[in-house]
Amino acid sequence: MRSVNVRNIAVLIYLKYFLFYVYLMFKNGDYTLIKINEIKSTGDLFYYCWLFFSLPTIMSIIFVPAVLLVFKYSRSYYFFVAILGILGLEYLLYTYLASQLNPFNGLFILVISIVLGFLFFYKNIKKSFSANSLRNDS
pLDDT category at 136 given cuts 50, 70, 90 is low
- 85-100 pLDDT per residue, tens: 999 999 999 888 888 8
Instruction: Count helices and strands (H / E) in the chain.
Output: 5, 0
Cα–Cα dist 48/36, whole Å: 9
- The mean per-residue pLDDT over the stretch 16-36 comes to 84
Tell me which H or E stretch contains 85.
helix 76-97
Residue 24: CB partners within 8 Å, gap ≥ 6? 30, 105
Instruction: Tell me, rounded to whole angstroms, the distance of Cα 54 from its chain centroid.
Output: 13
Q: Is the pLDDT of residue 31 over 80?
A: no
pTM higher than 0.85, yes or no?
Answer: no
Residue 33 has pLDDT above 80, yes or no: no
Above 90 in pLDDT, residue 29?
A: no
Q: How far apart are CA 29 and CA 76, in angstroms?
A: 42
Domain boundaries, the chain: 6-137
Does the pLDDT of residue 131 top 60, yes or no? no
Q: What percentage of the chain reaches a pLDDT higher than 70?
A: 91
